[in-house]
């Protein structure tokens, strides 16, 4: 892959998904996309670029390219301090706020293979606050293969490396093919494919009470981050909460949210009574 070919493909990826790669990613592109040239019978990456840009089947192939380029490392109970803050401090507030509707909807945005969404559902169950409620955890990801994995709900031991023996026994059962998510957790979760860069697709989620979007913004530049954050804001109910990764913040990205200080974490909140963004 030449530098010129890399730049063409990199810019096309940015255009479609807002993902940012510098020139150090040239070898990554070459390694992960090389098989697609062979599969399509194309002679060069320039020909592959033209196929992605102009061919009628480019959408499905663009999904395939993004599938190969994106990182998917995750595991259950990741950043546990934040998860426990959500359980101990935010769930009681949401229980009180939604007492009349008896509805709780949480979105795991950029859920990868589903570990985060299932963890959130397990924490909601463990809180024992929402029996008889309409509770849903929606997980979305850019990758259709990740979404298929999440729907299956079967994981290897590495995905449970931060899971306690108690939680492993309570929320999983082991078979020959791996650890299966318990039905009590699985039935609370729904998964779908979504590009966070696409504001129109966000309407499929509806209004939610809390959003986990952790370790996702790091793959975007400032312009794309602002667009994603604006999309997330529009999906939050007034008074709803946004949780980011430990190295992420809204500094210089948005002033629409309130910063909420919890005992063990900082989270963001859409103000009550707030309208849409200008």
**pLDDT tens digit string along 232-262?**
999 999 999 999 988 888 988 888 999 999 9
The two most distant CA atoms of the chain are separated, in Å, by 62
Rounded-to-integer distance, Cα 138 and Cα 205, Å: 8
pLDDT of residue 157: 94
Length of the chain: 278
Rounded-to-integer distance, Cα 147 and Cα 142, Å: 8
pLDDT of residue 19: 82
Is 104 exposed, middle or buried, given 0-12, 13-18 or 19+ CB atoms closer than 10 A? buried
Q: Give the residue with greater pLDDT, 95 vs 223.
A: 95
Taking the CA of residue 245 as centre, how many other CA atoms within 13 Å lie in the half-sphere pointing to its CB? 15
Rounded-to-integer distance, Cα 141 and Cα 252, Å: 25
Band of pLDDT at residue 202, cut at 50, 70 and 90: low
State yes or no: pLDDT of 201 exceeds 60. Answer: no
Domains for the chain: give ranges and CATH numbers.
3-69 (1.10.155), 80-269 (3.40.50.150)
Rounded-to-integer distance, Cα 20 and Cα 37, Å: 22
- Give the distance from CA 157 to its chain's centroid: 21
**pLDDT tens digit string along 54-64?**
876 667 888 88
Average pLDDT over residues 168-194: 95
Q: Bridge partners of 190?
A: 138
Average pLDDT over residues 107-126: 96
Which of 125-129, 264-268, 274-278: highest mean pLDDT? Answer: 125-129
State yes or no: pLDDT of 121 exceeds 90. Answer: yes
Lowest mean pLDDT among 45-49, 181-185, 203-207: 203-207
- Tell me the two tokens of residue 181: 């998510």
Cβ neighbors of 124 (< 8 A, separation 6 or more) are 87, 91, 104, 106, 130, 135, 137, 188
State yes or no: pLDDT of 199 exceeds 70. Answer: no
State yes or no: pLDDT of 276 exceeds 60. Answer: no
- Give the other-Cβ count within 10 Å of 40's Cβ: 14
Question: What is the residue-wise DSSP string for 172-204?
Answer: EEEETTEEEEPHHHHTTEEEEE--TT-TTGGGG
Q: How many degrees, rounded to 5, is the angle at CA 228 between CA 145 and CA 32? A: 35
Lowest mean pLDDT among 149-163, 190-204, 220-234, 251-265: 190-204
Is 138 exposed, middle or buried, given 0-12, 13-18 or 19+ CB atoms closer than 10 A? buried
Average pLDDT over residues 2-14: 90
pLDDT of residue 278: 37
pTM for the predicted model, two decimal places: 0.84
């Amino acid at each position: 892959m030449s530098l010129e070919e890399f730049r063409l493909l990199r810019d096309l990826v940015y255009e479609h998904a807002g993902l940012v790669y510098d020139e150090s990613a040239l070898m990554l592109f070459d390694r992960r996309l090389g098989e697609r040239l062979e599969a399509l019978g194309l002679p060069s990456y320039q020909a592959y670029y033209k196929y992605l840009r102009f061919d009628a089947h480019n959408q499905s192939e663009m999904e395939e390219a993004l599938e190969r380029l994106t990182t998917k490392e995750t595991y259950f109970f990741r950043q546990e301090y934040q998860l426990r803050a959500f359980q101990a401090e935010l769930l009681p507030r949401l229980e009180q706020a939604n007492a009349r509707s008896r509805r709780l909807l949480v979105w795991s945005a950029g859920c990868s293979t589903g570990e985060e969404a299932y963890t959130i559902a397990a924490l909601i169950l463990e809180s024992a606050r929402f029996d008889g409620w309409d509770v849903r955890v929606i997980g979305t990801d850019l990758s259709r293969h990740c979404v298929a994995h999440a729907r299956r709900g079967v994981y290897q031991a590495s995905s449970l490396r931060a899971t306690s023996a108690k939680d492993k026994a309570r929320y999983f059962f082991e078979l020959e093919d791996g650890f299966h998510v318990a039905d009590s957790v699985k039935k609370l979760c729904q998964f779908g494919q979504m590009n966070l860069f696409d504001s129109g697709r966000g309407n499929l989620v509806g209004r939610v009470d809390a959003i986990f979007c952790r370790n996702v913004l790091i793959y975007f530049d400032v312009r794309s981050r602002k667009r994603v954050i604006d999309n997330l804001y529009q999906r939050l109910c007034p008074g709803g909460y946004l949780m980011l990764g430990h190295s992420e913040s809204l500094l210089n990205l948005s002033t629409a949210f309130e910063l909420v200080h919890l005992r063990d974490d900082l989270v963001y909140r859409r103000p009550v009574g707030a309208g849409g963004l200008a």
